[in-house]
Amino acid sequence: MTLLAALRQAVGAAQVLTEGDLSAYELDWRRRWRGRALAVVRPGSTAEVAAVVRACAAHDTPIVAQGGNTSLVGGGVPDGSGTQVLLSLQRLQRVRAIDAANLTLTAEAGCVLQSLQDAARAQGLLLPLSLAAEGSCTLGGNLATNAGGTQVLRWGNARELCLGLEVVTAQGEVWSGLTGLRKDNTGYDLRDLYIGSEGTLGLITAATMKLAPLPAATITALAACASLADAVTLLGLARARLGDGLTGFEVMGRCALDLVARHFAALPQPLPQAPWTVLLECSSSEGEAHARARVEAMLAAGLESGGVADAVVAASLAQSQALWRLRESIPLAQAAEGLNIKHDIALPVSAIPDFCTATDAALQRRFPGVRLVNFGHLGDGNLHYNVQAPAGADGARFLAEHEAAVNKLVFDAVAAAGGSFSAEHGIGALKRDELAARKSPVALQLMRAIKAALDPQGLFNPGRVL
């Protein structure tokens, strides 16, 4: 039997796409990688995923897994050879269980993150994973990339929220590791091996995630800071005053918010002059008045000490959503402005102000006029330190000429400051060479050994990560 016939037998002919416009699967979110798939295959159950893997293994045909196709590092689209099967997990859509007493949710990999947040909320519970792509990214993609987002400082990455997995192996077998246990020291941690493996070790088909009680109230505020150093000082103040109530601490540079003003002019910007704007969120189990009083007292202390130049506290849910939309619109505004060079870096929070001062200056010396679109999860020490071509310049041309040199300058500075060149977006196709060059040889050797043990045929996502 040919591979296509075997795939049609496995999932039904209607779910094996080979013709027509397949760009929703073959073109990545950033429009930087356009691949060509041998076929797009859309299984509807774990058993069908396993059957697809067995068929591909028998024909020695590589498989690229895809969820919501929101990867920012070209991880989830096929290469241009037309020889890879694109396996979309989007039809694995079921919420299998919500156990309110155990505070867990078990759902299939293709569930869109926002739909799972909604399902938890309907039961008075919180799934504390949140990112700007949540309307289209999937649970499987979140776990395959160990996604971060805007609530990491309180709840951790996707990894910290995951208790169990169901995975289809490269042999086409199903590992049923779905468990809601908080304690389970029974040998090597296979779950943590698959989380963050970006589709190179196995296909995640379902997961059990931790939930939390919904907070009684959440207060959102913006604070203007004259410098990143002041923003770091404010983080310390917010941590000290709000404790566990601090559930979000994002920073947005002026250049980032100016791009939002240009491309999303209808979004109000309450602090339009601030060199740095902090977006912070406080959650409370004791109600709105309590949360509001704590945030206002904390900001008053910041204003008094001089670290905060101005501040606004959202007065309603609608205002709070508008403030978050400012932050979430930055990647969209950047995309609308043109191709850009993204750096998703992590540093010790204490090192961030000096890193940015020195690296901004070095970039300006070398590439006069470049725009530094710097924003991100300051509470986690994670910046999206992005570089956009000078105003009016052709983004594609700037990238073609300067991307490698810009990356070297930034990543060398990150390494010197003890940081990471990939904080939350992963390696994918974009940073594979960086990983090979910058990770220790011992670490790389261990990673290759794991890959060879779990996927000896090299079926899953070849050319990505390693």
Secondary-structure percent of the chain, ordered helix, strand, coil, rounded to 5 = 40, 25, 35
At closest approach, how far in Å is the CB of 139 from ligand FAD? 8
Q: In what order do the strands lie in the sheet with 84-88?
A: 16-17, 37-41, 84-88, 63-66
Burial status of residue 159 (CB atoms within 10 A of its CB: 0-12, 13-18, 19 or more):
middle
Task: Round to whole Å and give the CA distance between 257 and 249.
Answer: 16
Indicate whether 147 belongs to the interface with ligand FAD (CB under 6 A).
yes
CA distances for 128 relative to 118, 155, 166, 323, 397, angstroms? 11, 7, 21, 19, 40
Please identify which residue in the block is written with the tokens 């309603």.
316
Indicate whether 52 belongs to the interface with ligand FAD (CB under 6 A).
no
CA 420, 112, 180, 243 dihedral sign is positive
Indicate whether 379 belongs to the interface with ligand FAD (CB under 6 A).
no
Nearer to ligand FAD, 63 or 291 (CB): 63
Indicate whether 339 belongs to the interface with ligand FAD (CB under 6 A).
no
Mark 31-50 with x for binding to ligand FAD (rule: CB under 6 A) and - for no binding.
--------------------
Q: Residue with CB nearest ligand FAD?
A: 141
Residue in 164, 199, 381, 419 binding ligand FAD, rule: CB under 6 A: 199
Contact 364/431 with Cβ under 8 angstroms?
A: no
Indicate whether 90 belongs to the interface with ligand FAD (CB under 6 A).
no
Indicate whether 67 belongs to the interface with ligand FAD (CB under 6 A).
yes
What residues between 231 and 270 interact with ligand FAD by CB under 6 A?
none
Instruction: Please give the full DSSP string across 140-180, using - where no structure is assigned.
Output: HHHHHTT---TTHHHH--HHHHEEEEEEE-TTS-EEEE---
Indicate whether 65 belongs to the interface with ligand FAD (CB under 6 A).
yes
Residue in 56, 137, 228, 308 binding ligand FAD, rule: CB under 6 A: 137
Indicate whether 69 belongs to the interface with ligand FAD (CB under 6 A).
yes
Indicate whether 68 belongs to the interface with ligand FAD (CB under 6 A).
yes
Indicate whether 172 belongs to the interface with ligand FAD (CB under 6 A).
no
Nearest-5° angle of CA 179, CA 181, CA 185?
100
Residue in 72, 211, 278, 363 binding ligand FAD, rule: CB under 6 A: 72
Indicate whether 141 belongs to the interface with ligand FAD (CB under 6 A).
yes
Mark 268-307 with x for binding to ligand FAD (rule: CB under 6 A) and - for no binding.
----------------------------------------
Please identify which residue in the block is written with the tokens 């987002």.
149
Tokens for 164, please give them. Answer: 């169990």
- Site residues for ligand FAD per CB under 6 A: 29, 64-72, 75-76, 89, 109, 131-133, 137-138, 140-142, 144-145, 147-149, 198-199, 203-204, 331, 424-425, 428, 461, 464
